[in-house]
Copies of this chain bind each other. A is one copy, B any other.
Amino acid sequence: MIDLSLVSDGGVGWLDASGPESHLVLSTRVRLARNLERRPFTVRSTDADREGVLQAVQDVAKKTVGLGHAHLIRIDQLPRIDRQLLHERHLVSKELAVPDAVDPPRAGAALLLQDGVGLMVNEEDHLRVQALTSGLSLGLAWGKVKSLDTELGQQLAFAFHPEFGYLTSCPTNVGTGLRASILIHLPGLVLTKEINKVLQSLVQVGLTFRGLYGEGSEVVGNFFQLSNQTTLGKSEADLLDHLAKIVHEVVGYEERAREVLLRDAPGVIEDKVWRAYGLLRYARSLSFEEAMNLLSGVRLGVGLGLIPNVGMYALNKVLVFTQPAHLATEAGAASSERELAVGRARYVRRTLEEEAGR
């Protein structure tokens, strides 16, 4: 089993709800896609090519401030459960850790991790530099990523075209190679049925949305990942400013939706959030989807000040620690769906009991 206690914060410092707007925004993620010059892209590479990339990156990384003390995780040598766990902790992409097409992942797939900043090696691109931070904190996340990118770029020759910018395996990343996303909870807009209007307007201004676990993942529990679609033709600063501006607008819409709900149907909302709390506090079996939906209700109740004695940090942790690989790791054994549902309910119950007892 992988020992994430070696990583300073277990890789989940971004869950601590310390950042701005963290009553609505769980986390901010910024990543840059980079490739090394004169080496084939990962999807067209041999094992030896990728081992070469990893070696080159390691040699450079150890001389940087950002990754000088990094923990190296050889994704390609991990059992599936550990790779799944890293993905559930949002530390690596599904593509790198639990790819649909090739499993186990390609030789050379690796992660370098230090202080909440990660460098994925031999993902879809040679390098994916990423930072996860708490709340709505694009500047902070960008600063971390940019600084590491600068350090790495001084030693590594990145594939770069004077007209197109950074070259990437998939054309949607060409240019800045920047993807910034915000994980936000929007139950108010869902309850007032305004969510589709809001999501459509996001698409019109060049943003895109996904569920809790990235590309292709369904929306559950009213958690949305909002991110930039465009990576080309604008500066990094412009892309981040635009995303920040739109997310602030969405935060405003959500807050107004909540005011409307509290004004027009306070009894219904109160009943809804407390029922969610009651079920999470006492159920003995919870599917992933039900747990997410009930957590959404409790989070709304906490955000509205209706439910005391539950911290956002605890709710954030539940989102991650009730995923299958986390539960199976906790149980110390592979688990059936039924066992996972029982383990999930136990974890949630204990968490809420601890919170109530604080």
A-side residues, CB < 8 A to B, are 267-268, 270-271, 274-275, 277-285, 338, 342, 345
List, in ascending order, chain B residues with CB within 8 A of A338's CB: 267
List, in ascending order, chain B residues with CB within 8 A of A268's CB: 285
List, in ascending order, chain B residues with CB within 8 A of A279's CB: 275, 278-279
User: Smallest Cβ distance from A297 to chain B, in angstroms?
Assistant: 11
Chain A to chain B contacts (Cβ below 8 Å), 27 pairs: A267-B284, A267-B285, A267-B338, A267-B342, A268-B285, A270-B284, A271-B283, A271-B284, A271-B285, A271-B345, A274-B282, A274-B283, A274-B284, A275-B279, A275-B282, A275-B283, A275-B284, A277-B282, A278-B278, A278-B279, A278-B280, A278-B281, A278-B282, A278-B283, A279-B279, A281-B281, A281-B282
Q: Which 4 A-B pairs have the closest CB atoms?
A: A278-B282, A278-B278, A271-B284, A274-B282
Interface residue SS majority, chain A: helix
A261 to B270, CA, bound (A): 34
List, in ascending order, chain B residues with CB within 8 A of A280's CB: 278
User: Smallest Cβ distance from A211 to chain B, in angstroms?
Assistant: 26
A283 to B277, CA, bound (A): 9
List, in ascending order, chain B residues with CB within 8 A of A281's CB: 278, 281-282
A275, A278, A280, A285 interface centre (most CB from chain B within 10 Å): A278
User: Smallest Cβ distance from A278 to chain B, in angstroms?
Assistant: 3
